[in-house]
Amino acid sequence: MQTFLESKVAGVEWAGADDQHVFIVSSKHAVWRSKDGGSTFEDVTERFNASIKGEEKVSISQIMSHKASPNLMLFMNSGEYMWTSNDYGETLNPHKNPGGFRGLGTTLKAHPTRPDWVLAHAKRPGCQLLDEVQMRCASDLLVSLNAFTDHTWTNLTANAAGKVAGFVDWGWGVTPCNKTSCDGLGLVDETVYSTMYEHAGDWDTAWDPDVHFVRSDDWFKTIKKKVPCGNQFELLGRQVYLAVSNKCPQDMAGKPRKVDPTAPPGITLHTSDDAGMSFKAACLPVALRQQGYELLETHDNAGAIVIVDYMVQMPMGNLQAS
């Protein structure tokens, strides 16, 4: 049986292993639900609207189902509301987002092994979508240990008590782990990796020496490890891959170092085999003016293929290559 939506499909969420409950968000922000594996759909947008009495426009930006109990669901609106449901969206419980952050520009990530736990990376209220400095709007990191039920959140920027002004890159520490791959690394369920800056306004350039990589095991009440100028990271297998700004005035241990003004701009790739507690520079086959990377995980989860974006000096200027 065909179902004709009012606009193109923008996103699909399958809730549960039985493949019966399907949610579609259309390009015009309508929400469609199927209870029969996609054979038929109904428009349930008005249910969201009625639950908040039209207080804001319904424009669902993200849908998430609980991995162990898929009847538990989260629906993130682009405005200031989020909904929970314990029956696949049949009934909806609206919640105002903590601190007034908006769903537009917010990303949710569920914990890989603790399905009740969710991290949210949210731009601070007052940051406008069309700000010319939108890229540098300060963002908070929040955690909920009961996101699908009681829906209470803790702001990790506040937990850091002045050690963090804003979060840039972020992720759960155990994300790449299977049952044995991270044994002996000292990771705990609360481990969160992030790149952050310490003072308001510090993050103002690409590959910024004021952005640092950190690991915390206690919701940022303390920082277990800090790598100066670590701008962006990726977790694959047992390794942490980290791009470090070449303009860094500190070495990997945090000691002052002299920056060579003639050195290539950009970044240098570093890797860690001990969950981010120590790093070493990656040994590439040739010296490259590194500008970025793409990492492809091997099928056995034991390594990665590294594709390097780099600059080639030409008579008429620089050429970007991979």
Token pair of 139, please? 């963002």
Dist. CA 294–CA 47, nearest whole Å? 42
Confidence check: pLDDT of 207 > 90: no
Q: Which residue in this structure is represented by tokens 């003072």? A: 199
Q: What 8-state DSSP symbol labels residue 97?
A: P
Three-point CA angle 180, 304, 217, nearest 5°: 50
Q: SS3 for 169?
A: strand
Contact 110, 118 (CB under 8 A): yes
Average pLDDT, the chain: 86
**Model confidence pLDDT, tens digit, residues 50-94:** 999 999 999 998 999 999 999 999 999 999 999 999 999 999 999
Q: What is the rounded distance in angstroms from the CA atom of residue 42 to the CA atom of residue 33?
A: 5
Strand partners, 320: 311
> Edge-to-edge strand order for the sheet containing 154-155?
107-110, 118-123, 139-144, 154-155
Q: What is the reported pLDDT for 260?
A: 78
Task: Give the pLDDT confidence score for residue 310 in this predicted structure.
Answer: 61
Residue 130, pLDDT above cutoff 50: yes
pLDDT above 80 (res 309): no
Q: How long is the chain?
A: 322
Task: Tell how strand 239-245 and strand 267-272 pair up.
Answer: antiparallel
Please state the rounded mean pLDDT for residues 33-40: 93
Residue of 307, 267, 305 lying closest to 289 (CA atoms): 267
Strand 118-123 with 139-144, pairing? antiparallel
pLDDT above 50 for 149: yes
| Greatest Cα-to-Cα distance within the chain, rounded to the nearest angstrom | 68
Contacts of 283 (CB under 8 A, 6+ apart): none
- Which residue is it, tokens 């004709």? 4
Query: pLDDT class for 217, splitting at 50, 70, 90?
Result: very high
- Tokens representing 67? 């991995």
Write the CA distances from 257 to 159, 195, 210, 250, integer angstroms. 31, 21, 15, 5
Strand partners, 270: 242, 281
Mean pLDDT, residues 227-249 taken together: 90
Residue identified by tokens 């917010």 is: 106
pTM attached to this predicted model: 0.85
Structure confidence by residue, pLDDT tens digits, 252-295: 888 998 887 776 667 888 999 899 999 998 876 555 456 666 76
For the chain, the C-alpha Rg in angstroms (whole number) is 22
In the structure, what pLDDT confidence band is assigned to residue 112 with cuts at 50, 70 and 90?
very high
Residue 121 has pLDDT above 60, yes or no: yes
